[in-house]
Amino acid sequence: MDRSDLFARYDEELRTADYADVDASPNGLQVGSDEGTVEHVAFAVDAAVSTIEDAIDVGADVLVTHHGLIWGGLDRVTGREFERIAPLVRNDLSLYVSHLPLDGHQELGNAAGVADVLGLEAREPFGAMGPEHIGQRGVLSEPTSVADLTADLDDALDTGGRGVQLVDAGPAEVESVAVVTGSGVDWLDEAVDVGADLLVTGEGKQKIYHEAQEAGVNVVLAGHYATETFGVQSLQSLAEEWGLETTYIDEPTGL
């Protein structure tokens, strides 16, 4: 397959262009060339020296990640930026990135993956980011103990031993659940507005404890990395359907 064809397929599926004005990450091809062919694609949550080296070691032509190397511009390529970008260029390894588009995709995205774990039904977009959404909400088939849901996430997610945290601030049994993966506690007010009993996200901020108590909404902090493995794994499955060899590089951060 031509690299340009692979990138175009992902861009179309993920609606990459629609997120251009709301995402600090330049999504799509971030480093490298769209010329030439691709036979082997590596996938990782984070673009870092270690994951880039692993992709090179397995002979990948393209590395697809959720978190890329550029955020809001790049002034110069020195220091850490050079150490990350130089191996990509030297080894003709193209870096394709999908940040918010992969959070918000309602079938392939990170929030959709968490919703699958929880068995949410009647799903709708959640987590407004300008005109787009970066999360998902839904309802459980029956009211369920928030403690049981927390335990289910702890069992299912790759938390790197960190464990899932519960801010126990709402009803003991929940039915309506909102999900924004990664760093999503800023969407607590939207969760309140839609009547959610529980907001599931990755990492928290100090203020969320009191805000959740005052709002009467439970908040689960399941880990930034742990809640954001689903999207790249979905893109890996697509690449395999398209006849490409793939490798998933798992490097849980415990954060």
Annotated binding site: 66-67, 103, 224, 228
Mapped onto helix, strand or coil, the DSSP state of residue 29 is strand
Place of tokens 């039904």: 121
Q: How many CA atoms lie within 13 A of 122 on its CB side?
A: 8
Are 100 and 22 a contacting pair, CB within 8 Å?
yes
Amino acid in the structure at residue 214: E
Q: Which residue in 237, 248, 245 sits closest to 108, CA to CA? A: 237
Q: Where are the alpha helices (DSSP H) in the chain?
A: 3-14, 49-57, 79-90, 100-104, 110-118, 146-156, 188-193, 208-215, 230-241
Q: Which residue in 214, 171, 213, 221 sits closest to 196, CA to CA? A: 171
Would you say how long the chain is, in residues? 255
Binding residues for a divalent metal cation: 66-67, 103, 224, 228
Amino acid in the structure at residue 203: E
Are 199 and 118 a contacting pair, CB within 8 Å?
no
